[in-house]
Structure 1
Amino acid sequence: MKLCIFGAGAIGGLMAAKLAAKGDAEVTVIARGPHLAAMQAKGLKLISEGAETVVHPRCVASAEEAGPQDYVVITLKAPALPGIAPQLAPLLHEQTTIVSAVNGIPWWYFYKLPGPHEDHRVESVDPGGKLWDQLHPSRVLGCIIYPAAEVTEPGVITHTYGDRFTLGEPDGSRSERANALSAALVAAGFKAPVRPRIRDEMWVKLWGNLAFNPLSALTGATLDVITGEPELRAVCREMMLEAQAIAEALGVKFAIDVDKRIAGGAEVGAHKTSMLQDLERGRPMEIDALLGVIVELADLVGRPAPTCRTVLALLRTRGRLAGCY
């Protein structure tokens, strides 16, 4: 199996390190700058559960250097996707699978989703449908990320918690390509279940992110404050209930209720969300993939979302003023 991780930051680096350590897959990492230089010079170091491991996957700067792959794992943040999609062409042969490990609602969401919106293109995450055309959903295998990790210095990944990558085909089938990738991830030490309803799990993760992330960016508060302060918790809950109605109109089934999902966020403690971290570091925030898309889908299914709309307006302005949107 030839597997390439495009954008091997924290999560991509974690996956690359464990897959390379196992040795069953031929792993190529595409990165840039000091991170790439450090990996090429000294290898990729993973710090996890108090142990340090150094591996030496093939590390390159471009898709042309990497060449055709069996799997291409995309672990970049959603705002970067439209810009990098044309660069992926040298990685793709006829049977290459694109593993979409991206937060929020992805560009392929409505591919092979039975119902009136099948093959609908989501403008907020795929302007003009360019991702759909360049990275056609027929190539895509969905992946939901649960681990948390950080690039603590160039070439060094610190893994803090989590070991699950849920996989799923857009049509719900248990395909050979999904089973093969699951087996490789399990052999590397991860949990990698293949789910028939990947969108249900996608929404449960997004359910918290669409509220926690924007409110943290607007207030500077950590998760314990957002979920524990009654007024902020009430705003979260209202946003999440609006989103639940939208998702259920699209056929999604929620395995837990809203209060349990908020409680799950509270358990993480005094954690800065990824959106707040991006804002503080002057990086593009995942505004549209996590919340703009909710408002777009509300219009699609004819559901009101007044709280989400209000928070989105505030968040977009905050992002523009900070140069992060």
Structure 2
Amino acid sequence: MLHVGVIGAGAIGGQLAALLDRGGLRVSVTARGDSLAAMQAEGLRLMGSTGEHVARVEAAAALPESSPPDLVILTTKASDTAEALDANPVARRVPVLVVQNGLDAHGRVARLVGHDRVAAGISTTAANSLEPGLVNVTASGRLFIGGAERARFAQLLSPAVPDVTEIENLVGAQWTKLVINMVNAPPAVVGLSVQQSVADADVRRVITASMREAARIGLASGVRFEPLQGLTPNIIRMLARAPYWASEQVPKRMARTMGDVPNLGSTQQSLARGRLTEVDILNGAVVEAGRSASIAAPVNAAVTRLVHEREQGRPALTPAEFRSAVSE
């Protein structure tokens, strides 16, 4: 039986682990604190659009060394990567699928583990994990896999994980996901769900402006965007160049695909757990790419700053305060 190790059983990692367990694979996961205790006592519970399942995974603080997994899926926050790999040396000996936000996460992991048997995963699933040991999938999506080991992982995971798709244009797909992820941080600043944030005219204005900056900088950097989650290269070009009234249709459409169950986004979920967010590799990555392309990204810079202030305990802003704090 194939043995899969999942490092970081949060929203996406927990969803993948539960699906793999439901598919009959042996699954080991890493977790900590209340989440670890809940999984050891009651299993990993999956609910929502991918169905209900209680996964009897092998949960521990680190993956087993005595009976190591055949492959590893890394789903921690990018900021936790080095620490997670240090705690799980088995990742240095087996193929690794990196399912993280941001640009070139798999390249960083390959350098840390010292081998190139690394693939990159891009998940378009929306899920919440606010209760220990419970993952609620609010909108099921696809798992795109690129990189050197994409064929291996696609073949092994496809029987258990729905809609696994291989991609060749990995950089373009990562950039498209980055544009999509511009809906991630603003809800954390105002304390609303993604759907509520897009419905509010002030917050939607900021989201649309941040997406436009990301699209413009990507295009100026020569990125060949990959179609992802309904966001095609033509739509991204429109987003970058069209008037605001046309561009704002993009986040509106994205919110509709999320359904009625409130999705908080990973940034707000990190704040709820008292942890640092990924804003530096999302909105912050747009700012850095803009510097390289000599294009300013004031909206994304402001969003990054405001999320860091929330990490330090600043109360949520009202939508009107948020818009006034962001300079387009």
TM-score scaled by length of structure 2: 0.77
1:298 aligns with 2:290: yes
Report how far residue 228 of structure 1 moved. Answer: 3.4
Conservation of the 8 A alpha-carbon contact between 2:79 and 2:278: yes
Secondary structure in 2 matching 1:13:
helix
Equivalent residue number for residue 14 of structure 1? 15
Equivalent residue number for residue 190 of structure 1? 162
Conservation of the 8 A alpha-carbon contact between 1:6 and 1:72: yes
1:217 aligns with 2:194: no
Deviations 1:76-128 (A, max 9, x none): 122222332322323332xx2221111222434xx5xxxxxxxxxxxxxx7xx
Conservation of the 8 A alpha-carbon contact between 1:141 and 1:167: yes
Listed as ranges, the matches of 1:231-242 within 5 Å are 231-242=202-213
Root mean square deviation, CA, Å: 2.9
Aligned partners of 1:235, 1:9: CA distance in 2, in Å?
28
**Would the alpha carbon gap of residues 193 and 322 (structure 1) be closer, same or farther in structure 2, given more than 3 Å must change?**
same
Secondary structure in 2 matching 1:4:
strand
Aligned partners of 1:61, 1:107: CA distance in 2, in Å?
23
**Would the alpha carbon gap of residues 301 and 136 (structure 1) be closer, same or farther in structure 2, given more than 3 Å must change?**
farther
Matched to 1:289, the amino acid is I
Conservation of the 8 A alpha-carbon contact between 1:279 and 1:319: yes
Secondary structure in 2 matching 1:80:
helix
Listed as ranges, the matches of 1:133-282 within 5 Å are 133-136=111-114, 138-151=116-129, 153-169=131-147, 177-210=149-182, 212-248=183-219, 249-253=221-225, 254-255=232-233, 256-257=235-236, 258=239, 259=247, 260-267=249-256, 268=258, 271-282=263-274
- Structure 2 unaligned residues grouped into runs of 5+: 226-231, 240-246, 316-328
Conservation of the 8 A alpha-carbon contact between 2:47 and 2:53: yes
TM-score scaled by length of structure 1: 0.77
Equivalent residue number for residue 244 of structure 2? none
Conservation of the 8 A alpha-carbon contact between 1:149 and 1:157: yes
Listed as ranges, the matches of 1:35-114 within 5 Å are 35-49=35-49, 52-65=52-65, 68-93=68-93, 96-108=94-106
Conservation of the 8 A alpha-carbon contact between 1:20 and 1:56: yes
Secondary structure in 1 matching 2:72:
strand
Conservation of the 8 A alpha-carbon contact between 1:68 and 1:91: no
How many residues matched?
293
**Structure 1 stretch displaced more, 239-248 or 278-287:** 278-287
- Structure 1 unaligned residues grouped into runs of 5+: 112-125, 170-174
Q: Percent identity?
A: 28
**Would the alpha carbon gap of residues 221 and 20 (structure 1) be closer, same or farther in structure 2, given more than 3 Å must change?**
closer
